[in-house]
Structure 1
Amino acid sequence: MSFKNKTVLITGASRGIGKAIGLRLAAEGANIVIASKSVEENPKLGGTIFSAAAEMEAAGGKALAVQCDIRFEDQIQQVVDKTKETFGGLDILINNASAINLSNTETVDPKRYDLMYDINVRGTFMVSRACIPLLKKGTNAHILTLSPPINMDMKWFANHLAYTISKYNMSMIALGLAAELKKYAIAANALWPRTTIATAAVQNLLGGEALMKMSRTPDIIADAAYYILSKPSAICTGNTFIDEEVLAKEGITDLGKYSVTPGGQLYTDLFV
């Protein structure tokens, strides 16, 4: 499946996993729409929609940078309208934007709770909703959401209930869309890493430099996404994929190149 001139909209694509997926598909000749908030660089996070767009064009694709806070429907619609205006349509949506807070129920700040739900749940739903009309006209149309398998082991609820149910909601949206949109041959799947991924969230919020060294690079998610999105949309739908398993089915089992610390210990991600 060629990505040449395919149009891909990615939320939260100015850095981290979203940017890595954009670069991977841009290298295949895709048009990348970067829908993110960052227009000025935050030293702790790095990257803006404009710097990401420049990198994606340097990688071989075309890029459209649109400032967007997915909590607001008017901004979402503006991205969709500009996507259609610039590239004529949409073939792939990547729901990557997400907020994280690992507080327990008693200590979680209501504003943090609302932020997670506005971005992770409502944002994922509303972006998907706004993109469906264009995806119906797309070629081998896919929706890919960065969220985990729904693992009902209570250990995932005990310590950070608010975050857990927000991410499981994202996965339920992916599975629900797979059922709803199957008649249009629009695929909807979720993808999650086996190990922690070296991103600003891991560096700043979860485990600092020590956890970064026990993580894999975002490239493993980008490669897994590439293979999922290459599959026929009428068949490859309704899955909650793990990156390692996707690559294994492609015959890729030596994953050493993705480790931040070659040969080092890896830390298993949440929900796996």
Structure 2
Amino acid sequence: MNDTVALITGAARGIGLATATLLHGEGRRVVLLDRDRDALQTAAATLPGALAITCDVSVPQQVSQAVAEVEQTFGRLDILVNNAGVADFGPLEETDFTRWRRVMETNLDGVFLMSQACLSLLSQRGGAIVNIGSISGLRASTLRIAYGTSKAAVIHLTKQQAAELGELGIRANCVCPGPVDTKLALAVHSPEIRAAYHDAMPLNRYGTEREIAEAICFLASERASFITSQVLAADGGFDATGVGLPALRV
């Protein structure tokens, strides 16, 4: 293992775990954060030497405690991957304020809180922040009032971070996944929706968690040392062809 330390939020499953696995495979020390304690422990057991911290990224006190544990354990942090997020799909008229805030507090507030808390550690040697947006933050679609807006805000927050933190040697970039074969997608995407996505995407398929993780790890790595403020759509070409699919309006 080398000395670099990577912290991944929402790391108990899906894209977060795939990213942690790749970073661990590169020889980095990894810290897995998630609010699902049981799933987090199961995930950490697959990565020898990984530090698992149960944390809700929307709660400032928990974030501060988690970052303090990272500092106490490793004394440094080189990579922060803000992956934790919640999905919510529904029309404006059915999205009450409680539902709106549930999405914003994790998808947007969590990115802000984690980045701010990790700033001191990241600035010690110059580090990398990779925020996870969404194709829904790049292009408007139906049923994504809260989710799409939260991800659009994450994209702009990434640019603000890049503009402000570059002089500290910190790079900030954003990966925007398109449709990915996660457990969530498999649960909520009907056959009609999947077929519509396939028809609208140049690559004619969903992505894999590993493919998104590869994009994240590249932007986090030294190979991307002169890249900051960029938004990378890992989406099979979906951004080029639009997202206003009839099947997504039902």
State whether TM-score is above 0.5.
yes
Tell me how far apart the structure 2 counterparts of residues 122 and 85 of structure 1 sit (CA, whole Å). 24
- TM superposition shift of 1:203: 1.9
Code of the aligned partner of 2:169 = A
Matched, 1:91 2:78: yes
1:239 paired residue among 214, 230, 237: 230
Tell me how far apart the structure 2 counterparts of residues 147 and 201 of structure 1 sit (CA, whole Å). 16
Distance 1:118 1:94, change over 3 A: same
Matches within 5 A, 1:186-225: 186-193=170-177, 195-207=178-190, 211=194, 214-225=205-216
Distance 1:98 1:271, change over 3 A: farther
Residue in structure 1 matched with residue 248 of structure 2 by the alignment: none
Q: Deviations over 1:212-257 (max 9, x none)?
A: 994222000111122222246662100001237xxxxxxxxxxxxx
TM-score normalised by L of structure 2: 0.84
Residue in structure 2 matched with residue 172 of structure 1 by the alignment: 156
Code of the aligned partner of 2:228 = T
Distance 1:241 1:118, change over 3 A: same
Code of the aligned partner of 1:160 = R
Distance 1:137 1:233, change over 3 A: farther
Distance 1:215 1:234, change over 3 A: closer
Aligned residues: 233
Residue in structure 1 matched with residue 127 of structure 2 by the alignment: 141
Structure 2: which 5+ runs fail to align? Answer: 199-204, 244-250
* CA RMSD after TM alignment: 2.6
Please tell me whether the aligned partners of residues 218 and 224 of structure 2 are also in contact (alpha carbons under 8 angstroms). no
Please tell me whether the aligned partners of residues 191 and 242 of structure 1 are also in contact (alpha carbons under 8 angstroms). yes
Tell me how far apart the structure 1 counterparts of residues 154 and 97 of structure 2 sit (CA, whole Å). 20
Residue in structure 1 matched with residue 21 of structure 2 by the alignment: 23
TM-score normalised by L of structure 1: 0.78
Matches within 5 A, 1:2-13: 4-13=2-11
Tell me how far apart the structure 2 counterparts of residues 226 and 84 of structure 1 sit (CA, whole Å). 22
- Give the structure with the larger helix fraction: 2
Tell me how far apart the structure 2 counterparts of residues 100 and 92 of structure 1 sit (CA, whole Å). 24
Residue in structure 1 matched with residue 119 of structure 2 by the alignment: 132
Residue in structure 1 matched with residue 98 of structure 2 by the alignment: 111
Percent identity (aligned): 30
